[in-house]
Every structure is written in C-alpha cells, then in structure tokens.
Amino acid sequence: MRISKTALVMIGLGAFAVLATGCGAKRESFNATISYVLEPTEELPEGLTALAVLDAGTEVDGSEDDDRAKKWATIAADMMEQMILDSASKFGTGLSVAKRRDTTKVLAEQDMKAAGLVDAGTATKAAKMLDVQALIASKLNIRVEVKTSKKTTFDLTHIAAAAGRHWGAGSASIGAREADAITRNMTVQCKFSMLDAATGDSYFEYAPKPFRKHDKKTPGPVFGRSSGEADLDAVDMYIGELVQQGVREFISMFVPCEVDYTYHLESSHNDSSASGVAAMRADDYETAMQHFQAAVAEDPEDHESVFCMGVISELMGDRDAALKYYRRVCGMRGIDNDETMPMYLAAKNRVAAHKDRIRK
C-alpha cells in the first residue's frame, strides 16, 4: 500500500506533538492551602506587656539587592507588628505594640539608630522613651542571582509544498536550534532579636539558615522560544514568601501564630493521579487518597501522587502520615532538583519542625 507524502508529513507532525506534550492523561492542577495555629516554644518574660518593633537593618553597598532589602526591611517590621497584634486579638496574649510610626519618629528625633541590632545602651534609652519593656530588632540580607543558558529545541524547517503530487515537490525535515533559558536564585538571610529594655540582653534570638527559592523558564523541546526575566514570576512575590516565613517562625516563638502554606499541586500523567487532583478540588479527600494510592500502586516512583498524599494527610489533620509521605518523596530518585525537590524538602522540614507545636 502506497502512503502519500502528505500522510508521512502528518505522521511526523503527530510524532512531534507527542514529543512536545508527552503522553498519558491530561495533567490536573490545584492550589492547596494548609492552615494551622503554632503554639509558642517559650513563655513571655514576666511583666512584659508592651514592645516596639524596629525596621530591620540591611547591608548597604548600593546594589539593586540592597534597595530591595531596604524595602522589605520595612515590610518585615510591618508583618511582625501585625502578627503580634493579631495574636493578642485572637488568643488574648495581652501583648501590645507601640505604633511603628511613633517609634520611628521618636528615634529619629533623638538621632538614635532606628534599624538593625541596636546596642544595649541604645536599646535601654529607646525603650524608656517609647514606654515599652522590650524591643524587636532584626537584620535582613537579600540576594537575587539571574543566569542564562542555552537549550536545544527542534522545529520542522521544511514542509512539502506540493505534497501528494510527486516526491520531488517538497520535503520535511527536523532542524535543531538554540534558545535562551533563564534561571533565578533568591536567598533571604534573616536575624531577629527581642531585647530586654532594662539590660539590652536578648530574650529571644532567631537566626535560621538562609531561605532559598529557585525559579526558571526553559524553552520546550519542540518549537521552544527564548525566555527572559519578563517570563518569570515577579521576584517580590517569592521574596515576600521567604521574608514572611522568617518573620512567622520568630513571632511564633513567643505568641500563638496562625500560619498557612499554599502548594501548587500537579498530577502525574496517570489517570488515577489526575482523578485524585480533581477530587481534591471538590474537597473529597478520602476519594482523592484512594485515587493517588491506585496511581502509586501502578508506579511506585510517581512522586507527584506521593506528595499529594502528604498534602491530603495534612488537610485531614494526620501530620505523622504527612511526614511519612514527604520523607518518602524526598527519597525518590530522578526528581528535578531545580524545581520540584526544594518544595518537597521544605514541606518535610516544616512538618518535622511544627507537628508537635500545632494547636489541636
């Protein structure tokens, strides 16, 4: 049986489509938000009823990152003030916060250092003027690194102009070319302290390892186009997430704190996995879990489904099971370390650190 040139070209296009889109079920997606209240790890010092929050200090060298850090230093202080006030309102902590506008004005009038880690003498003098028993001081350092690289993508460079007439009329071929890929690494380093107004000594200290976030845009394997920074999500969205995480971890040391984490979940190409994500959108967690279990039974390395099982376990209040699934997915091989693995590791570390502090 003779096959026309048009048919051959269409077969080639079909094969290309498979390369471009993959195979299997359509992938489903869902943004799942996990919320709970963290109990404090320490008791507030006796007699502490009022404190003031200073703007975070920054390292200044004139770079764009320092300008960004200065902006987020102010935002971080706003976050701390609001979290403390929210905790007082919802959980009756009895802790009040001097208005930051007044705090900044008083310190500026006295030509005192209004940001960063103040020394003991300055802390004592500032606290007396502000009529508070403690000060919260912090330091913030933000770095954003952007790198570009080349990736190979394929195009159909020639299509038969007279397909079906005769074999010499045209041709179809696959051509390779290079397109730009872009990668962005964001690092936020925080240090927080609550200082005793009387002595300048520290009540609480929180200086975690740097928070990191990775973002990238890569051209597709077929008909891919070059990518630039404009193709990435807004950098402040990620920095805000990292700064908020640091602030929340510090504030939750001494007052109850509401937290929420949102994960963008995607199914694998397995039909059961796709059905599981669809069931999550309907808040039918038991059915969703059954679908994911079926998907993992077919493919034990289906990391998308295993991670979803961890998220469902958290949503159903079973943190021990969630940690088990998060540890399992972090131990899988062949996962894209640049994108997916950081999310898996962060979930595992968060649950391991929080599960015994979560209000029942």
Let me know whether 245 and 308 are in one domain: no
Q: What local confidence, expressed as pLDDT, does residue 296 receive? A: 97
Residues with Cβ within 8 Å of residue 229, at least 6 apart in sequence: 146, 182, 184
**Is 322:313 a contact under the CB 8 Å cutoff?**
yes
Let me know whether 26 and 53 are in one domain: no
**End-to-end alpha carbon distance in the chain:** 72
pTM attached to this predicted model: 0.74
Domain of residue 53, residue span: 40-143+189-216+235-255
Let me know whether 312 and 208 are in one domain: no
Report the SS3 class of residue 15. helix
150-165 confidence digits (pLDDT tens)? 878 877 654 444 444 4
Q: What is the CATH number of the domain that holds 303?
A: 1.25.40.10
Q: What is the CATH number of the domain that holds 91?
A: 3.40.50
Does 169 fall in a domain? no
Let me know whether 244 and 286 are in one domain: no
Burial class (CB in 10 A: 0-12, 13-18, 19+), 272: buried
Q: Considering its fold, how many domains does the chain have in total?
A: 2
Q: Which has the closest alpha carbon to 132: 103, 158, 159, 92? A: 103
Q: Which has the closest alpha carbon to 164: 152, 156, 172? A: 172
CA distance 216 to 198: 49
Q: Which of 3-7, 90-94, 234-238, 290-294 has the lowest mean pLDDT?
A: 3-7
6-64 confidence digits (pLDDT tens)? 444 454 545 444 444 444 568 899 999 999 999 999 999 988 999 998 877 665 445 66
